[in-house]
A and B are shown apart, each in its own frame.
Chain A
Amino acid sequence: MEFDIVVENLVKRYGSVEAVRGISFQVRKGEIFGFLGPNGAGKTTTIHILSTLLKPTSGKALVAGYDVVSEPNMVRRNIGIVFQDPSLDDNLTGYENLYIHGRLYGLNGQGLRERIEEALKFVELWDFRDRLVRNYSGGMRRRLEIARAMLHTPRILFLDEPTIGLDPQTRVHIWDYIRKLNREYGTTVFLTTHYMDEAEMLCNRIAIIDHGKIIALGTAEELKSMVGSDIVYVKLAKPDPDICSKLSIAGVDSCKVVEGGTVALQVKKASEAIPAILLHLDRLEIRVTEVSYRRPSLNDVFIHLTGREIRDSEGSFIEVARMRHRARMR
């Protein structure tokens, strides 16, 4: 296995505050790797160390095979980065921003012009290339920053909260670009986010970070399996305290009556269990007014590990599929 990022026992201290408290992980070549955690968990500090903008207090970090402390120039050559806060020159056009970036990375002439065109078309900003960045929308700026970060075809792309503050549609767009970049150019992506859905939709593997420490690491599925299986909620037309005894069928691992005549059933796979459950209830002539199910989310994983929710998250990260079922009338 080839690794593009290797971090060993990394520590960053600001005075007496430890922002990063001894983290270790590896990012595989060509992978999309995510750091998921609440604000202030040490995500940005880590990205700044990996991109050579900050020096670690102790520990080791290799990016593209180069040490971030002793070979920062080699690291810089191999990475592209989109910062959490804007970093564009507002008084220049989109094209000029990329042009200056390209020249700073040693590109020039026809080759640079072609790369700029490709990058701007990639993020669908080619038509706006001569507009001042000052007049770009938030989403356009983000896209331009992605185009800029990929301009010099870096081996590794760092994205610090790539969709923070963007509307849902734009977020989906940005995700598409990141996936496409990873697929078409084989770029290794390291991103930080505090959005569950973003980590889940994009990342091959996720490290959950809290208070400067990695508390869990794995694929979204692996992480969620730490919490358990799917839960199906069935609302009955008439509350029945003995319902659980009637529901001991294959596929239902446990049963619990919650208030208002609703039963919570723990199942392995909701999509397969629901039809069986409904068929069974129908045979017993028990009327059902509503069925919903909930898959454990990364938020449940976070709660499971820390006892807290990831703070100020936006959007709905709890995937709830609602299915309304009208019981057949007799």
Chain B
Amino acid sequence: MKMLESIYIMAYRQIKRFVRAKSRVAGVIINNILWLLFFGLGWAYTLRGQQFQVLFKGLDYLAFLLPATFATSIFQASFMGGISVIWDKQFGFLKEVLVAPAPRSLTILGRALGDSIVSLLNGLIMLAFGFALTSKLNPAGLPMALAIGFVMAVGFTSMGIAIASTMRSPEGFQLIVGTITMPMTLLSGAMFPLNMTPEWMQILALVSPLTYAVDLCRYFLTGVSFLNMVYPWLTQEVEALLLVVTSLALMVIAMRMFEKTTIE
């Protein structure tokens, strides 16, 4: 009971903070709209026509892009969530948590869960626009997509926290976030089908857990898996397993790293 208590209260805090920060909520929604409008619709109109449907295995570009954007937006929000650890260092709240009798590994777990829920909400907003823009998404796949979204959110939030635990300045963290999120997002197969890319690029893509998350979300929301078509051994079960294992590993790493955080 006591364990759940510490997890719950830190999750509560992260969510409360997000809801309180109206500009952050507005920023998320506006970003999503702009991305979908200018990038999504832009390419959707460019790639209109039968000949392109072959590329996307029968999907139109919006149906191809939207489920993947759900995953990448969760990824970016989760990873960025780690920055709040640095803010807490700077504004001193971290000391309050470190000096409390609640175990540090549990307070950080609660924090990761709270931030995961926040980024899942983020993804849901994105997806709501998606459902408004195209009728090709399958609502029946939503629960599975949310489950995948949550698992990846926990993993990437943990990754953000682990990196933030070792850093002092938000600027430095932002730099790292930038250099990691951009290639991972581009390589995830969210914006173009990976099966057309050179082999070395595919190998790099397969190293990143985000690639599996994108493919799974697309599979559950549209019924098409691009990875499975190229690599028959990559069934949905294998992909899900890889994702869960990576997320758990990242979570344990984050807990370990945070235990070692000091105020020095």
Q: Chain A residues in contact with chain B, CB under 8 A?
A: 14, 48, 51-54, 73, 76-77, 79, 81, 83, 85-92, 96, 100-101, 103-106, 108, 132, 148
Question: How far, in angstroms, from A76 to B97 measured CA to CA in the complex?
Answer: 11
CB distance from A6 to the nearest CB of B (A): 20
Which residues on the B side are within 8 Å of A90 (C-beta)? 91
Annotate B110-123 by CB proximity to A: 1 below 8 A, 0 otherwise.
00000000000000
Question: How far, in angstroms, from A53 to B16 measured CA to CA in the complex?
Answer: 27
Question: How far, in angstroms, from A148 to B5 measured CA to CA in the complex?
Answer: 18
CB distance from B170 to the nearest CB of A (A): 15
Q: Pick the contact of B20 from A52, A76, A92 — CB < 8 Å? A: A92
CB distance from B92 to the nearest CB of A (A): 4
Contact B98 A85 (CB under 8 A): no
Contact B95 A87 (CB under 8 A): yes
Q: Within 8 Å of chain A (Cβ to Cβ): is B17? A: yes
Chain B's interface: helix, strand, loop or mixed, by majority? helix
Q: Within 8 Å of chain A (Cβ to Cβ): is B100? A: yes
B-side interface size class: 20 to 34
Question: How far, in angstroms, from A105 to B100 measured CA to CA in the complex?
Answer: 6
Contact A103 B93 (CB under 8 A): no
Q: Within 8 Å of chain A (Cβ to Cβ): is B241? A: no
Q: Which of B83-105 touch A at CB < 8 Å?
A: 91-102
Which residues on the B side are within 8 Å of A77 (C-beta)? 101
Which residue of chain A is the closest to B24 with respect to CB atoms?
Answer: A91
Given contacts A89-B17, A91-B17, A91-B20, are A51 and B99 in contact (CB under 8 A)? yes
Contact A54 B92 (CB under 8 A): no
Contact B92 A76 (CB under 8 A): no
Which residues on the A side are within 8 Å of B96 (C-beta)? 87-88, 101, 148
CB distance from A164 to the nearest CB of B (A): 14
Contact A106 B2 (CB under 8 A): yes
Given contacts A92-B16, A105-B100, are A87 and B6 in contact (CB under 8 A)? no
Which residues on the B side are within 8 Å of A96 (C-beta)? 16
Sample 8 A-B pairs with CB under 8 A, ordered by A number.
Answer: A53-B99, A54-B263, A77-B101, A87-B94, A101-B100, A104-B100, A104-B102, A106-B102
Which residues on the A side are within 8 Å of B147 (C-beta)? none
Q: Within 8 Å of chain A (Cβ to Cβ): is B9? A: yes
Which residue of chain A is the closest to B2 with respect to CB atoms?
Answer: A106
CB distance from B99 to the nearest CB of A (A): 6
Known: A104-B97, A148-B96. 12 other contacts (CB 8 A): A51-B99, A52-B99, A54-B262, A54-B263, A76-B101, A86-B91, A92-B20, A100-B12, A100-B13, A103-B6, A103-B8, A104-B107
Q: Pick the contact of B9 from A53, A86, A88, A103 — CB < 8 Å? A: A103
Contact B97 A85 (CB under 8 A): no
Which residue of chain A is the closest to B106 with respect to CB atoms?
Answer: A104
Question: How far, in angstroms, from A90 to B97 measured CA to CA in the complex?
Answer: 15
Q: Within 8 Å of chain A (Cβ to Cβ): is B199? A: no
Contact B92 A85 (CB under 8 A): yes
Q: Pick the contact of B93 from A14, A52, A87, A108 — CB < 8 Å? A: A87
Question: How far, in angstroms, from A196 to B9 measured CA to CA in the complex?
Answer: 40
Contact B98 A53 (CB under 8 A): yes
Question: How far, in angstroms, from A59 to B9 measured CA to CA in the complex?
Answer: 36
Which residues on the B side are within 8 Å of A14 (C-beta)? 264
Which residue of chain A is the closest to B94 with respect to CB atoms?
Answer: A87
Q: Within 8 Å of chain A (Cβ to Cβ): is B21? A: yes
Question: How far, in angstroms, from A54 to B91 measured CA to CA in the complex?
Answer: 19
Question: How far, in angstroms, from A85 to B16 measured CA to CA in the complex?
Answer: 24
Contact A48 B263 (CB under 8 A): yes
CB distance from B96 to the nearest CB of A (A): 5
Q: Pick the contact of B99 from A76, A85, A91, A100 — CB < 8 Å? A: A76
CB distance from A211 to the nearest CB of B (A): 20
Which residue of chain A is the closest to B97 with respect to CB atoms?
Answer: A104
Contact B5 A108 (CB under 8 A): yes
Given contacts A83-B95, A90-B91, are A76 and B263 in contact (CB under 8 A)? no
Which residues on the A side are within 8 Å of B6 (C-beta)? 103-104
CB distance from B87 to the nearest CB of A (A): 10
Which residues on the B side are within 8 Å of A48 (C-beta)? 263
Contact B263 A92 (CB under 8 A): no
Which residue of chain B is the closest to A145 with respect to CB atoms?
Answer: B96
CB distance from B10 to the nearest CB of A (A): 8
Annotate B14-51 by CB proximity to A: 1 below 8 A, 0 otherwise.
00110011000000000000000000000000000000
Contact B107 A53 (CB under 8 A): no
Which residue of chain B is the closest to A81 with respect to CB atoms?
Answer: B99
Which residues on the A side are within 8 Å of B97 (C-beta)? 104
Contact A76 B95 (CB under 8 A): no
Contact A88 B101 (CB under 8 A): no
Which residues on the A side are within 8 Å of B262 (C-beta)? 53-54
Question: How far, in angstroms, from A8 to B94 measured CA to CA in the complex?
Answer: 29
Which residue of chain A is the closest to B100 with respect to CB atoms?
Answer: A104
Which residues on the B side are within 8 Å of A91 (C-beta)? 17, 20-21
Question: How far, in angstroms, from A87 to B96 measured CA to CA in the complex?
Answer: 6
Which residues on the A side are within 8 Å of B20 (C-beta)? 91-92, 132
Which residues on the A side are within 8 Å of B8 (C-beta)? 103
Which residue of chain A is the closest to B5 with respect to CB atoms?
Answer: A103
Annotate B136-159 by CB proximity to A: 1 below 8 A, 0 otherwise.
000000000000000000000000
